[in-house]
Structure 1
């Protein structure tokens, strides 16, 4: 299994391809808020109230929460790849219904199916990559779906900026046609990917795991270090149900990692990033950018900058410390949200003057700070701190919490913005500040450690799992 220096490794190709799911997710995020503002969309479905608009936009997350919670159990039983494929197929059907809808109920059915598909697929993408990538570059590859989401947001914004000039309902349908084409590619190509060797070995299928390792182009030493040796004594595990799996992740040996993963993936979303991404045109218009086209363009520019910042953040994911990145991100996000809220509360933001530019720049800084820090480190950390036995189940629960948090933000933001210019920003800033404090106390550095070494680190302090205990051990110089 020696690898040619010129050949792109199979694990890199597989990780990059499944990141198409992130692109599709970002595409919807970057387009749906703008689409629901288009005259052609309201001409087809009627004008949506702030509440109905929030429901339409956020339905995809609401419907993804329950599938995300059980996706881990299904992936443990049937394989990471099969559940991803099922989710990709549902996303494809949902996209087709969205772009073909002539009644709002059918459009909502399409968004619901899209959400269910994303709940199944996105939950397992991070787990799949975490298990097929070597430890030396795991962070870089696990961050690829988030990088893909940044690409998708950029494409979504500019597809709307371009299609708004098309006459007729094709102006809002075109972005969904493009999404459907991407979903078909993602679903079809996933049939040709290798299954996780770790999952195969844990289910007693060692010979097949060896074949998949060859497809992934693992070197002999690398395969021994990252896959074979850590699980070589593992026997095929008994199947356990959803409830038994949930009970397992809250036992003494696993609950500290479980709660930390759930907190991270939920609260980094409650900081308001989806409110900024989904409703960027509305936010920029409220800040004083005059026309709908100009606000769409400003949203697209922010997406380009987010993509540009995502590139070094992704490439350097294994160079920066997870904890340092999380703390820096928390400072940036809480400061910018509280600054914007303060300016609106002081009634300083108008269609003229410097305050509106401070708000606009702060929105840019918030989005760039998020994609450079929390967006990358959150998903990496939540996946890698879990033992193989509970990784899929815990990641599912944490992703389910993330979906619910996303839904709450996407649903409530247009209502907040319609009723209070500053309330949403103070709320998001306060949540970001709380998240920063918890992460500063509870996060243990994992950069450069193998998945098994991370578990040893947590096991050594299993008797001290509270935030206070973890902070105390760190102050005393405890080394994980």
Structure 2
């Protein structure tokens, strides 16, 4: 990447460091995802909090309920306050929730902490990719936006092995420390977002603050040729300073309704619906069922002790993290469409294989090769998802939206992602108790449906300016993307 001459030859440009800082939000998501599944099956947790077996799935998925609700409003709040302010607010809320979790001695307090954490995640998660897309040069947008997923995998690895200390029955320090660490990281992100990150110049331009937008481009180290900010609509607030509190509330309510109507306009409806579909089906592929309940899945496959099952989960987190690095480096060449289609075919095949082994009764707890096929297949599923769907779908859902509706449409898609994630997290242990194979066939069917929809409706967006993607999207008809270009 080119270096900013204003900052010196050995200092990276501000857009790169800003993308790295914003990606800390992905680290928080990974830390939370990595800790909650292993934590809730370890003795040091339920010996302190109390018995949880009857509501295991509910505790794991509670965070997603509040995240769903908060995500619905995060786009409107982001359009009003700005990207960096919302990042700061969401991070502070997350820090408060993690603090409650770390200090909890009763299950209700822990659940309240989970709800507060989910509210924070819902506020900032959709804004992460939106902000990075809006500050990045077109030719570097793909890898920079993919940094969020790389940081998620780093968080998974970190917390899986931090929670490994919870197998020791005499101390609850380890699981409390992993939650306290989340609170500290979230507080740091809030400070950096509020006082160091430059505001998105595209958001500033959309607000009619063109001088501030030009200044932000300069601070970010991006020249005029890479800004691609032509044709943005402005959304100024006339006489805003003279409004009463009641008038302001009515105005904001009306603007929120108007923004939702914009999302459903012919020029943005197809993009919004596709984003909601893809973000939902990303979870219905079963990936978070694997991440949340990896110890349970490995135990079901025949790893008999909690220590070996949990260690296997940690190893899978390392493999996921390591595999995300070459995928991140290739993301600007692979694009979005081809990894989604080919990756979906591989994911569906793996789920069908695991389901078939369980349905045929081939998987035995102590003997036979089938259990090792299942274990290896779970690894392959997590790796394939990491290098295909996880890297591309969130970025694609954001970058195809028109500028005026990008934050709102992305937040609605993130809300759909959270609610389907809640469903997966809640029903996975229940379905595993009812049928060892049914859940895998369910996920396989959802993946195949996604592949078929993407084969018809999903265009390629790599290397294109944000402002041109929506126009190109609307000019093409369904089916015009049905070719598959070889990698």
Aligning the two structures, in what range does the TM-score lie when normalised by the shorter sequence? over 0.9
- Deviation at residue 165 of structure 1 after TM alignment: 3.0
The equivalent of 1:54 in structure 2 is: 57
User: Aligned in 2, Cα 1:384/1:21: closer, same or farther, shift over 3 Å?
Assistant: same
The correspondence for 2:357, drawn from 324, 343, 350, is 343
The equivalent of 1:35 in structure 2 is: 39
Pairs within 5 Å for 1:298-313: 298-313=312-327
Alignment partner of 1:283 is 2:314: no
The equivalent of 1:352 in structure 2 is: 367
The equivalent of 2:87 in structure 1 is: 84
- Deviation at residue 235 of structure 1 after TM alignment: 6.2
- Deviation at residue 342 of structure 1 after TM alignment: 0.7
* Separation in structure 1 between the aligned mates of residue 169 and residue 211 of structure 2, nearest angstrom: 55
State TM-score, norm by structure 2. 0.92
Cα deviation digits, residues 440-476 of structure 1 (max 9, x gap): 1111111111112212212313xx4xxxxx11x3469
- Deviation at residue 332 of structure 1 after TM alignment: 1.3
Please give the secondary structure, in 1, of the residue aligned with 2:120: helix
Cα deviation digits, residues 335-363 of structure 1 (max 9, x gap): 11111111111111112110001000110
* Separation in structure 1 between the aligned mates of residue 220 and residue 310 of structure 2, nearest angstrom: 41
* Separation in structure 2 between the aligned mates of residue 44 and residue 380 of structure 1, nearest angstrom: 40
* Separation in structure 2 between the aligned mates of residue 274 and residue 42 of structure 1, nearest angstrom: 22
* Separation in structure 2 between the aligned mates of residue 183 and residue 235 of structure 1, nearest angstrom: 31
Alignment partner of 1:423 is 2:427: no
* Separation in structure 2 between the aligned mates of residue 13 and residue 166 of structure 1, nearest angstrom: 42
Larger CA deviation: 211-220 vs 342-351: 211-220
* Separation in structure 2 between the aligned mates of residue 8 and residue 237 of structure 1, nearest angstrom: 36
User: Aligned in 2, Cα 1:207/1:283: closer, same or farther, shift over 3 Å?
Assistant: same
Please give the secondary structure, in 2, of the residue aligned with 1:316: helix
The equivalent of 1:201 in structure 2 is: 205
The equivalent of 2:330 in structure 1 is: 316
Please give the secondary structure, in 2, of the residue aligned with 1:160: helix
Cα deviation digits, residues 248-296 of structure 1 (max 9, x gap): 1111111110111111111011111010000001100110112111111
Pairs within 5 Å for 1:9-408: 9-50=13-54, 52-165=55-168, 167-191=170-194, 192-223=196-227, 226-227=228-229, 229-231=230-232, 234=234, 236=236, 241-350=255-364, 351-408=366-423
CA contact (8 A) 1:164 1:171 kept: no
Please give the secondary structure, in 1, of the residue aligned with 2:334: coil
CA contact (8 A) 2:324 2:386 kept: yes
- Deviation at residue 93 of structure 1 after TM alignment: 0.1
Cα deviation digits, residues 122-163 of structure 1 (max 9, x gap): 011111111011101101111111111111111111111134
* Separation in structure 2 between the aligned mates of residue 316 and residue 476 of structure 1, nearest angstrom: 21
* Separation in structure 2 between the aligned mates of residue 261 and residue 10 of structure 1, nearest angstrom: 29
State the aligned residue count: 464
- Deviation at residue 45 of structure 1 after TM alignment: 2.2
Structure 1 residue runs without a partner (length 5+): 465-469
CA contact (8 A) 1:14 1:193 kept: yes
* Separation in structure 1 between the aligned mates of residue 283 and residue 482 of structure 2, nearest angstrom: 29
Cα deviation digits, residues 376-427 of structure 1 (max 9, x gap): 1101110111110110010011000000011000111111112211111111
CA contact (8 A) 1:2 1:218 kept: no
CA contact (8 A) 2:67 2:123 kept: yes
* Separation in structure 2 between the aligned mates of residue 161 and residue 332 of structure 1, nearest angstrom: 31
Please give the secondary structure, in 2, of the residue aligned with 1:289: coil
Cα deviation digits, residues 310-351 of structure 1 (max 9, x gap): 111112211113110101110111111111111111111112
* Separation in structure 1 between the aligned mates of residue 234 and residue 289 of structure 2, nearest angstrom: 44
* Separation in structure 1 between the aligned mates of residue 401 and residue 483 of structure 2, nearest angstrom: 25
User: Aligned in 2, Cα 1:314/1:476: closer, same or farther, shift over 3 Å?
Assistant: closer
Cα deviation digits, residues 216-259 of structure 1 (max 9, x gap): 11134323xx23x343x746378753222222111111111011
Cα deviation digits, residues 161-207 of structure 1 (max 9, x gap): 13433722223212112222222222222122111001111112122
* Separation in structure 2 between the aligned mates of residue 95 and residue 404 of structure 1, nearest angstrom: 21
CA contact (8 A) 2:166 2:172 kept: no
The equivalent of 1:442 in structure 2 is: 457
User: Aligned in 2, Cα 1:476/1:95: closer, same or farther, shift over 3 Å?
Assistant: closer
CA contact (8 A) 1:61 1:406 kept: yes
- Cα RMSD after superposing both structures: 1.8
User: Aligned in 2, Cα 1:174/1:234: closer, same or farther, shift over 3 Å?
Assistant: closer
* Separation in structure 2 between the aligned mates of residue 237 and residue 384 of structure 1, nearest angstrom: 26
